[in-house]
Amino acid sequence: MITARTLLDSKEGVVWSVAPDTMVIDALRLMAEKNIGALIVVANDVIQGILSERDYARKIVLRGESSRTTAVKDIMSRKVFTVRQDQSIGDCMALMTNNRIRHLPVVDNQKILGLISIGDVVKAIISDQAETIKHLENYISGAS
């Protein structure tokens, strides 16, 4: 079974985060530098929210606000769904789909282990399905 831990093991291993008082422009620079679509917002080692490109587009750009004078805490998504490292990618996909979210922090006893994206989950599902198809084709053709 492919789990959230499996996905994290295939990633860089660094958890990128910002503090709630960080200016949005600085968070965007970090996201651009690291080529990521979201940051976990953390204070005192506790998740406070998530800042995504979607938050920026909807809460800064569309409202005509300034990313230079707005703090992350003012636009972040406060409701954060998390998964345990032992949860299946099917569980992750269902949680993401049902809640219309694209990023899930993976936690263990309140400790942040990493962040997985919908892209990570889809890539793993496609890879797993391709492997299953290959095995079935080999089984049908009698190959070892």
Closest CA to 81 of 116, 133, 127: 116
pLDDT tens for 107-118 read 998 899 999 999
Three-state DSSP class for residue 34: helix
Neighbours of 104 (CB within 10 A): 28
Closest CA to 109 of 84, 81, 80, 87: 84
pLDDT tens for 9-59 read 988 778 899 999 999 999 999 999 999 999 999 999 899 999 999 999 999
- What domains lie within the chain, and their CATH numbers? 4-141 (3.10.580.10)
Cα separation, 119 vs 117, whole angstroms? 5
Strands (E) across the chain are located at 17-18, 38-43, 46-52, 83-84, 103-108, 111-117
> What are the two backbone dihedrals, phi and then psi, of residue 90, each rounded to the nearest 5 degrees?
-65, -45
pLDDT tens for 82-137 read 999 999 999 999 999 999 999 999 999 889 999 999 999 999 888 888 888 887 88
What is the reported pLDDT for 144? 58
Kindly report the pTM of this predicted structure.
Answer: 0.85
